[in-house]
Structure 1
């Protein structure tokens, strides 16, 4: 889990980080969660995936103007490089990630 307090430290680590902005009450967020968990295992060493609960960590969601969830922001070596809004199929999420590997 990523929090408002740990966000900057996590993002600054080298490599790719996909941050999933979600909430417990969000049905589409719950549908995409197992996809991201499987991707984290399948792409270990290439991609890190972190989850940020927007209800518990509103500052970071506001900072990145997250208006809809799920929103997934992709960071490479500390820089925001891409984003995905909505519960997309794995193939589409993976296509975005692969552009940056």
Structure 2
């Protein structure tokens, strides 16, 4: 299961991390976010060891959502060595997300 991180965990695990991390910015009240969850979880298991997959609840971590200008959920951001390199907005099929992530490995 993808770990839900708070602001301080995000700062240490994602912004100060190395390698590729995929962050799912979501909200508990968001229907498309709920549809994305099983896809995101499956991809996290499938790509274990290649990339890290974490989730940020925008209502609980408003500061991070504002920092990265998250205005639509779900939004996935791909980070490489702590820097955002690509944003994916809305629900997407697993293979499309995987192809985007692999581009940055």
Normalised by the length of structure 2, the TM-score is 0.92
Which has the larger displacement, 63-72 or 5-14? 5-14
2-side partners of 1:73 and 1:10: how far apart? 14
Match of 1:5 in 2: 8
1:72 paired residue among 51, 72, 76: 76
Corresponding position of 2:67: 63
2:87 is paired with a residue whose SS is: strand
**Structure 2 residue aligned with 1:92, among 88, 93, 96?**
96
Which 4+ residue blocks in structure 1 deviate beyond 3 angstroms?
A: none
* CA root-mean-square deviation: 0.8
Unmatched 5+ residue regions in structure 2? none
- TM-score if structure 1 supplies the norm length? 0.96
Q: Secondary structure at the match of 1:8?
A: helix
Unaligned segments of structure 1, at least 5 residues: none
